[in-house]
Amino acid sequence: MSELLWQQPADMPLGVAKLSKLAFDGVDLGPLHSQLLDKYIFEPDNAAALMDLSIIEQLFGNEHDGVARQSEALRLRQVYRSPSTGEAPVLRLLALAAPGDVGNNTPLEFLLEGSDIALTTLYIVPGHPLPAIPAHDVAIVAACESDANRAVLAEIARLLPSWPKPVLNHPDQIALLSRERLYGVVQSIPGLSIPATVRIDRTTLGDIAGGRSALEKHLPDGAFPVVVRPLDSHAGRGLKKIADAAALTAYLAERPERGFYISSYIDYRSPDGLFRKYRVVFIAGKPYACHMAIADQWMLYYLNAGMAESAQKKIEEERFMTGFDHEFARRHRAALAGLASRIGLDYFGIDCAQTAEGKLLLFEADIAMIVHLMDSPAVFPYKVPQMRKLFADFGVMLKNRASSPQGEKLESVA
């Protein structure tokens, strides 16, 4: 690793996929962190070292320090190449990205693993002049929807009318993924259920907690329990189910944020008392299974579900993934087709479940959901062919769009 590190060009970080895989496999990144610091000391203009330091800091849980390192790197350069892991590239993909943490952009390095597509990332930094646009065959907007990214998405939208190559995932469509807008866009889709969600400021939430304002005045059909989260939070940070006004008062005492989302709580337990949550991504309108998590708690993530330790859970996930097209996707065909049509993005993901009535229950949609093949093939052998197919079809979509007339969308890769 150290030999490879010292040979890395200043515009080619090891990258989020490689470093995440090392951390996922339990490799101690401390020595690499020290080597990167040394590299930066001896080569203070080496932006790649700073970008990798940024990622490692975040993998260590130091998000603030990680984002600060990235800011240093972006002052040096805004264009970075990703290491190629496949054959000689036949396509050049340019990602239009936003500064921020590792979850702020579409995880393209994971999606392109082992492909013949070369990835270059151009960071759009508000207040900084746009550098020379790298040569590419097709571009994709990677910056996800968030308050912090609105200036970046607006700048990309301003640039697109004169962009020289086809561009996937238009910023106007990405904007539909905000939690409050998504509810309005998709809530009438047949076969779909989505919790009513509104954006609310701290003062108003305090008024609800104190009985000075009625919950139903702000949230359609509002009634406790509700789910509350800070704006732009991910991975469960600050997410909590609130049983009543007293619990809401206690929650606000713990949280410093000024803005929140509140949504209706929907009990999505299966008849056996367990919760089941699914991740699905859409590529050119076609849905693909990514994973399934099963646990006895409503706040469910793959990492807290104990999937690797349960043979029964793995059997059920394997059935979900291998039979997805003929079972889950067929059962929820109308809802999935409606999502693909209403959202209108070339690539996006959803986290979802099933209601007791058999509807598809949508929690969120995003272009930056992590999709990977880091899991051990010895523990999860059924994931390898499924994820390889997903990655391959993502590449097919890129190649199709690169060869299509400017701005023209193609049908599904299937």
Q: What is the 3-state secondary structure (H, E, C) of the chain?
A: CHHHHHHCCCCCCCCHHHHHHHHHCCCCCHHHHHHHHHHHHHCCCCHHHHHHHHHHHHHCCCHHHHHHHHHHHHHHCCEEECCCCCCCCCEEEEEEECCCCCCCECCHHHHCCCCCEEEEEEECCCCCCCCCCCCCCEEEECECCCCCCHHHHHHHHHHHHHCCCCEECCHHHHHHHCHHHHHHHHCCCCCEECCCEEEEEHHHHHHHHCCCCCHHHCCCCCCCCEEEEECCCCCCCCCEEECCHHHHHHHHHHCCCCEEEEEECCCCECCCCCEEEEEEEEECCEEEEEEEEEECCCCCCHHHCCCCCCHHHHHHHHHHHHCCCCCHHHHCHHHHHHHHHHHCCCEEEEEEEECCCCCEEEEEEECCCCCCCCCCCCCCCCHHHHHHHHHHHHHHHHHHHHHCCCCCCCCCCC
By the 8 A CB rule, do 226 and 219 touch?
A: yes
Q: What is the pLDDT of residues 135-152, one digit of tens each?
A: 999 999 999 999 999 999
Amino acid, single-letter form, for residue 247? A
Contact (Cβ atoms closer than 8 angstroms) between residue 161 and residue 169:
no
Query: Which residue's structure tokens are 């990144």?
Result: 29
Q: Which of 120-124, 195-199, 227-231 has the highest mean pLDDT?
A: 120-124
- β-strands 91-97, 117-123 pairing: parallel
- Residue 310 pLDDT: 96
Domain of residue 209, CATH code: 3.30.1490.20
7-21, 135-149, 337-351: which has the minimum mean pLDDT?
A: 7-21
Residue 235 is predicted with a pLDDT of 66
- Whether 5 shows a pLDDT value over 80: the answer reads no
Q: Is residue 52 in some structural domain?
A: yes
pLDDT-wise least confident of 105-119, 155-169, 361-375, 393-407: 393-407
Domain of 212?
196-264
Average pLDDT over residues 368-391: 95
Query: Could you tell me the pTM of the whole model?
Result: 0.92
Question: 15, 47, 77 — which closes off a domain?
Answer: 77
Residue 28 lies in a domain: yes
Tokens of 155: 């700048």
pLDDT tens digit sequence for 62-119: 999 999 999 999 999 999 999 875 567 899 999 999 999 999 999 999 999 989 999 9
The lowest-confidence range among 139-153, 232-246, 296-310, 371-385 is: 232-246
Q: Which pLDDT does position 275 carry in this prediction? A: 96
Residue 135 belongs to some domain of the structure: no
Which of 264, 290, 311 delimits the end of a domain? 264
For the chain, give the mean pLDDT.
92
Looking at the domain assignment, is residue 340 inside a domain?
no
pLDDT bin (cut points 50, 70, 90) of residue 51 is very high
User: Is 55 inside any structural domain?
Assistant: yes
What pLDDT sits at residue 322?
97
- Assigned token pair, 324: 């997805």
Asked if residue 314 belongs to a domain, the reply is no
In a domain, 141, yes or no: no
pLDDT at 334 over 60: yes
Note the residue count of the chain.
Answer: 414
- Provide the number of structural domains found in the chain: 2
Cβ–Cβ under 8 Å, residues 109 and 17 = yes
Expressed in angstroms, the distance from the first to the final Cα of the chain is 39
pLDDT digits 0-9 by tens, 147-183: 999 999 999 999 999 999 999 999 999 999 998 899 9
Residue at which a domain ends, from 246, 264, 282: 264
| Inside any domain, residue 34 | yes
Higher-pLDDT residue of 404, 358:
358
pLDDT band at 328 (very low <50, low <70, confident <90, very high): very high
At residue 414, the pLDDT reads 37
Q: What's the confidence (pLDDT) of residue 413?
A: 39
- pLDDT the model gives residue 411: 43
